[in-house]
């Protein structure tokens, strides 16, 4: 049987220890009660306890000193729960005391009166704090330094030295060690609550990054930088994101923040040789401890230099770095312009003045024409010239280089690039610019517009089927012109002109050769070679210069013959006299009588007598309707006022009430016309009398007359 097992029922009651303990305790308590029945409190309570109703008057000692089964320390902690929590958790000053930290009365005695401070120097000395003013806050888990050391205790603990703290408040406990508990959070919670991870207690403007070495040591060029330089607001690596998301920051590669000035081939080869990624390959040459990318400790090997595209081989193997890379320029591109072994002009003076910096030989550079170890002699052959703008062929093969590539001014380089490859740059235009307007809208061709028709051997050599007379001159050679030879219009000259031309320029005018482009119509209008038999009548103002996409004589005539009017002739448009009605049924010769002999202009039809009716038709009214002008002078008769139908004069358009001075009322409208308009002989011809007639009643009706009209 174990010692802790209860005795069996057969054991006598007096042999049970639990019963004896209970009996002894009862006797002891009874004795103490009897003995202390008349005892009084050893002294008045401190003010903090005296104001508690349950403790006042000294009648409730057990509230502080414990009851039957409770000691004094437990009774204290019943009221001071926060202190008990510190002791249990090992926090605060009480939680860091020795094992007897629950002996409250040893530090905080009572019964010394209302003015006695229960928290005093003795209390702190017993807690291991000899000087309260120099209290080491690390005892309570707060490593206080910097600006906090300069603070007075009461700056944080307002009631630190009160003899009696106000009811409901604490003297030292209850404060938070979070920075935001005392300081306003300018980040508004975006960076979390661990302020000490970035700030120090000396000043908020001073920063630390205790965790940064795990990602990037802040040494060399990265040391002393402002945090925002790398962690700007609104970016994926902003302080708000890095410090606020609670995750561990990840390291960034050099190229995430710095632009690499190096060529792709250089970076790729160095990354491959060092077995690093392209983004992280910068550290092969640039160590973190370097203060800048130009750090004096930076070194580059011959192998790395070759990776730049410029192996340090002959003739550059003995040249110092400063010989090619001047240390003065701050700009990387100025110090390291990315030369290669064949870019001689990068270090050597260019005798050509940069003419070959672009063009077909720019990629090869000087070595396209010169050797890699010396510049002379050059090796520019006709085959290489073929890669230039003008291949050397035909008449150009026999020309010397200096004939085309000259020195414009003393001291200047000989001109190579910029020498025109067009024919007109060296040869005078034998056409006096005639074809310029015809080639402006065309796509450019090699060597200029001359090459559209002429070959490189000689100007007399034309490219087969290259000259379309219609296209180049605007004058199609067809119809009657096709039967003529070229000399009919281009008569040869005995002596060549300044351009060496003997081929004539269009047709003679006034017995002399005219310039091919003397005017817009010269060389392509009929009038340039033919007299106008119409005397310019069809070029009058108001008539169309172009008709049915044709102009000039071609508006009506064809190239086959001037007598060919197969294109039609709009008589109304061109003469102002439309051929409708009875006029449309007549032949041309009815109005335009054929001439026995042509005129000096070549005209074989006569002119019409006129455009008004009286020009061809007799006036049956004897001139009664001739109009008078403002001066009273008689003019022509406007037959169309009444006879608008051109089919027959018998078809009238006459409204008595509108077209005469006498309006027909109901009575007169029924009267026959002949009763007022009787036949008479007027101007020697019998006709009806229309005007002038009187309009008064007495002009027709005599006084007392029985007839409609008075005779004689």
Segments in 561-693 forming alpha helices (H): 571-575, 588-591, 656-659, 673-676
Q: How confident is the model at residue 247 (pLDDT cuts 50, 70, 90)?
A: low
Segments in 407-546 forming alpha helices (H): 423-426, 436-439, 469-473
Q: Rounded to whole angstroms, how far apart are CA atoms 24 and 481?
A: 158
Q: What's the confidence (pLDDT) of residue 245?
A: 60
Helices 81-89 and 72-79, axial angle in degrees (round to 10): 110
Q: Is the pLDDT of residue 522 over 70?
A: no
Q: Which of 182, 124, 172, 171 is nearest to 148 (CA)?
A: 182
Q: What's the confidence (pLDDT) of residue 126?
A: 87
| Residue 358 burial (10 A CB sphere; 0-12, 13-18, 19+) | exposed
pTM over the 0.85 mark: no
Q: What is the mean pLDDT of residues 632-646?
A: 84
Q: Is the pLDDT of residue 308 over 80?
A: yes
Cis peptide leading into 377, omega within 30 of 0? yes
Q: What's the confidence (pLDDT) of residue 99?
A: 66
Q: What's the confidence (pLDDT) of residue 28?
A: 53
Q: Rounded to whole angstroms, how far apart are CA atoms 72 and 102?
A: 9
Cα-Cα end-to-end distance for the chain: 186
Q: How confident is the model at residue 543 (pLDDT cuts 50, 70, 90)?
A: very high
Q: What's the confidence (pLDDT) of residue 18?
A: 57
Q: What's the confidence (pLDDT) of residue 524?
A: 58
Q: How confident is the model at residue 454 (pLDDT cuts 50, 70, 90)?
A: confident
Mean per-residue pLDDT of the chain: 81
Cβ–Cβ under 8 Å, residues 666 and 657 = no
Q: How many residues does the chain have?
A: 712
Cis peptide leading into 315, omega within 30 of 0? yes
Q: Which of 480, 500, 496 is nearest to 488 (CA)?
A: 480
Q: What's the confidence (pLDDT) of residue 508?
A: 45
Radius of gyration of the chain (CA): 64
Q: What's the confidence (pLDDT) of residue 541?
A: 92
Q: Which of 262, 292, 267 is nearest to 278 (CA)?
A: 267
Instruction: State percent of the chain over pLDDT 70.
Output: 88
Q: How confident is the model at residue 16 (pLDDT cuts 50, 70, 90)?
A: low
Q: Which residues pair with 680 in a beta bridge?
A: 687
pLDDT in tens, 480-511: 888 887 778 888 888 888 777 888 877 544 33
**Residue 16: partners with Cβ closer than 8 Å, 6 or more residues away:** 7
pLDDT in tens, 378-426: 888 888 888 888 888 888 888 888 888 889 899 899 999 888 888 888 8
Q: Pairing relation of β-strands 626-628 and 634-637?
A: antiparallel
Q: Which of 160, 152, 198 is nearest to 179 (CA)?
A: 198
Q: Is the pLDDT of residue 132 over 70?
A: yes
pLDDT in tens, 573-621: 999 899 888 898 888 889 999 998 888 888 888 999 888 888 888 888 8
């Amino acid at each position: 049987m174990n010692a802790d097992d209860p005795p069996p029922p057969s054991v006598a009651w007096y042999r049970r220890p639990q019963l004896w303990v209970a009996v002894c305790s009862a006797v002891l308590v009874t004795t103490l009660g009897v003995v202390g029945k008349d005892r009084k409190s050893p002294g008045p309570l401190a003010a903090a306890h005296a104001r508690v109703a349950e403790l006042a008057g000294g009648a409730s000692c057990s509230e502080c000193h414990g009851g039957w089964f409770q000691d004094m320390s437990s009774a204290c902690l019943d009221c001071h729960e926060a202190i008990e929590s510190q002791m249990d958790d090992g926090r605060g000053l009480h939680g860091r005391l020795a094992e007897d930290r629950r002996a409250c009365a040893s530090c905080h005695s009572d019964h010394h009166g209302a003015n006695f401070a229960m928290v005093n120097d003795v209390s702190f000395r017993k807690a291991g704090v000899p000087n309260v003013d120099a209290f080491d806050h690390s005892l309570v888990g707060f490593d206080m330094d910097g600006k906090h050391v300069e603070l007075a205790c009461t700056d944080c603990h307002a009631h630190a030295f009160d003899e009696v703290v106000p009811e409901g408040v604490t003297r030292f406990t209850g404060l938070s060690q979070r920075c935001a508990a005392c300081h306003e959070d300018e980040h508004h919670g975006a960076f979390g609550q661990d302020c000490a991870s970035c700030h120090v207690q000396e000043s908020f403007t001073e920063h630390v990054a205790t965790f940064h070495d795990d990602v990037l040591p802040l040494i060399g060029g990265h040391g002393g930088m402002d945090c925002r330089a790398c962690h700007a607001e609104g970016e994926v690596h902003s302080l708000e994101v890095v410090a606020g998301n609670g995750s561990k920051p990840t390291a960034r590669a050099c190229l995430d923040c710095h632009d690499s000035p190096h060529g792709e081939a250089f970076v790729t080869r160095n990354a491959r040789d060092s077995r690093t990624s392209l983004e992280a390959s910068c550290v092969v040459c640039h160590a973190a401890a370097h203060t800048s990318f130009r750090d004096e400790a930076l070194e580059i090997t011959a192998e790395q230099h070759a990776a730049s595209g410029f192996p340090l081989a002959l003739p550059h193997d003995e040249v110092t770095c400063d010989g090619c890379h001047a240390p003065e320029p701050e700009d990387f591109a100025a110090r390291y312009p990315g030369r290669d072994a064949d870019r001689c002009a990068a270090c050597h003076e260019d005798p050509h003045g940069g003419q070959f910096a672009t063009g077909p030989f720019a990629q090869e550079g000087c070595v396209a024409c010169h050797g890699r170890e010396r510049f002379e002699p050059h090796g520019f052959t006709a085959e290489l010239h073929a890669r230039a703008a003008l291949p050397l062929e035909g008449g150009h093969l026999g020309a010397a280089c200096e004939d085309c590539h000259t020195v414009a001014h003393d001291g200047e380089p000989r001109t190579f690039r910029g020498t025109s490859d067009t024919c007109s740059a060296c040869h005078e235009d034998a056409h006096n610019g005639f074809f310029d307007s015809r080639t402006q809208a065309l796509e450019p061709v090699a060597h200029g517009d001359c090459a559209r028709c002429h070959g490189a051997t000689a100007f007399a050599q034309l490219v087969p089927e290259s000259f379309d007379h219609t296209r180049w001159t605007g004058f199609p050679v067809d119809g009657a012109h096709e039967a003529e030879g070229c000399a009919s219009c281009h008569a040869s000259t005995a002596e060549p002109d300044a351009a060496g031309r003997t081929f004539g320029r269009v047709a003679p005018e006034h017995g002399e050769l005219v310039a091919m482009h003397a005017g817009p119509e010269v060389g392509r209008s009929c009038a340039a070679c033919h007299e106008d038999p119409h005397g310019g009548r069809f070029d009058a103002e108001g008539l169309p210069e172009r008709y049915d996409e044709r102009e000039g004589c071609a508006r009506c005539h064809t190239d086959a013959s001037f007598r060919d009017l197969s294109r039609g002739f709009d008589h109304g448009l061109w003469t102002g006299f439309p051929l409708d009605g009875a006029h449309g049924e007549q032949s041309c010769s009815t109005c335009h009588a054929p001439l026995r002999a042509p005129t000096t202009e070549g005209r074989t039809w006569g002119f019409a007598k006129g455009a008004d009716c009286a020009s061809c038709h007799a006036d049956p009214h004897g001139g009664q309707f001739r109009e008078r002008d403002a001066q009273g002078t008689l003019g022509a008769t406007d037959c169309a006022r009444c006879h608008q139908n051109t089919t027959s004069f018998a078809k009238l358009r006459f409204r008595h009430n509108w077209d005469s001075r006498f309006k027909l009322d109901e009575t007169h409208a029924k009267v026959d016309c002949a009763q007022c308009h009787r036949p008479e002989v007027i101007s020697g011809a019998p006709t009806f009398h229309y005007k002038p007639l009187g309009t008064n009643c007495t002009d027709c009706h005599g006084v007392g007359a029985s007839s409609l009209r008075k005779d004689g």
